[in-house]
Structure 1
Amino acid sequence: MAQQGGCMCGNVRYSVEGEPVGKALCHCADCRKISGSTYSTNAIFPGNQFKLTQGTPKQHAKTANSGNQITSYFCGDCGSTMWRETSASEGTKILKVGTLDDASAMADAKPVTELFSSSRAPWVLAIPGAQQKDAM
C-alpha cells in the first residue's frame, strides 16, 4: 500500500511504496538546520519505491562534514524539506517522516539507528535499543 506525503502548502506531493530499508534519527548539524530542531527523523526507501506525484521541488546540494554530497529537496513556496539524497547511499530517498500524511507513520518509523549520536543535544535521550553511530 502506498503512503502519501508532501510539503506543508501542498504544492509538492509524493508517494512511496513498501517498507523502508532503514529508519534513523540524525543529529548532524545539517539535519538540525534543515529540520529547525535538534535532530531529524528519517525513513530510507529505495528510489524505485518513490514517486513524485505533483509539483517540482527545488534542490540544494552541498558537501556534508562527512565529505559526502547531499542534496535536499524542498518546496520553493513553503520551504518544507521532504527528502534528501546522498552519495553515501546512491539510489535511495531519505524521507523526512514528518512529511508523510498518515500520522501512524510516526509510530511505524521508530528509529533503529541514531546517526552522529555524539552530537545529540545533552537533554535528548538515546532511543533504547537503537544502534548509536558517529557517522552516516
Structure 2
Amino acid sequence: MPSGSCFCQKLKYEFTGEPEGVAICHCLSCQKISGSTNTLNLIIPVDRVHFTVGSPKTCTESHEIGMKITLHFCGNCGGVLYKTADLDMFAGKAVVQIGTLDDATAIKQAKPDMELWTKYRAPWLPSLEGVVQKTEF
C-alpha cells in the first residue's frame, strides 16, 4: 500500500488502489503552495486516503478562478500532503503532492498524463511530449 509523510514525519498517510491520474499543475496557487514553479500530483479518491499518524491541519483559500482549495498539511513542519477543492471536477478527490510519497521508486514511475495551467508554466520549462496540455483546467 503506497504511503507518504510530511518532512518531520509527524503526519503520515497511506492510500489504496491506483491513482486516477497524475497531473502537473502550473497555476499560481500551486506555485504559492509549493514555493516552486508547479506541483506534481496524484489524483486519488479522498475516501481511499487514510492518515496513519497524526491529523492534518487545514487551510481553505480561493484559487485564482474563485474555487476554494483546502490544503491538508502538517501543523508542525507545514508540509502540504494533499489538496481538495470545491470545483466539480475535483469532487471527492484528493490531489496528493507526489513529493510526499515515501517510496522514491513510486515517484520516479509516476509519469504525468496531464499538464494543467500551462499559460503560467515558466517559459524556460518545456512542455511534456505526449501529455494532455491545458491552458487552465
**TM-score range for the pair, normalised by the shorter chain length:** over 0.9
Q: Which residue of 2 aligns with 1:65?
A: 64
Structure 1: runs of 5+ lacking an equivalent: none
Q: Which residue of 2 aligns with 1:18?
A: 17
3-state SS in 2 of match to 1:93: strand
Q: Which residue of 1 aligns with 2:86?
A: 87
23-32 vs 104-113, which deviates more?
Answer: 104-113
Residue identity (%): 40
TM-score, length of structure 2 as denominator length: 0.94
3-state SS in 2 of match to 1:38: coil
Structure 2: runs of 5+ lacking an equivalent: none
Q: Which residue of 1 aligns with 2:32?
A: 33
Q: Which residue of 1 aligns with 2:115?
A: 114
TM-score, length of structure 1 as denominator length: 0.95
- Structure 2 CA distance for aligned equivalents of residues 13 and 115 of structure 1: 27
For residue 124 of structure 1, what is the amino acid of its counterpart?
Answer: L
Deviations 1:51-90 (A, max 9, x none): 1111121111012112211100111111111100011211
3-state SS in 1 of match to 2:60: strand
3-state SS in 2 of match to 1:15: strand
Count of residues in Structure 1 that have an aligned counterpart in Structure 2: 135
On the 8 A contact 1:25/1:113 being kept in 2, the answer is yes
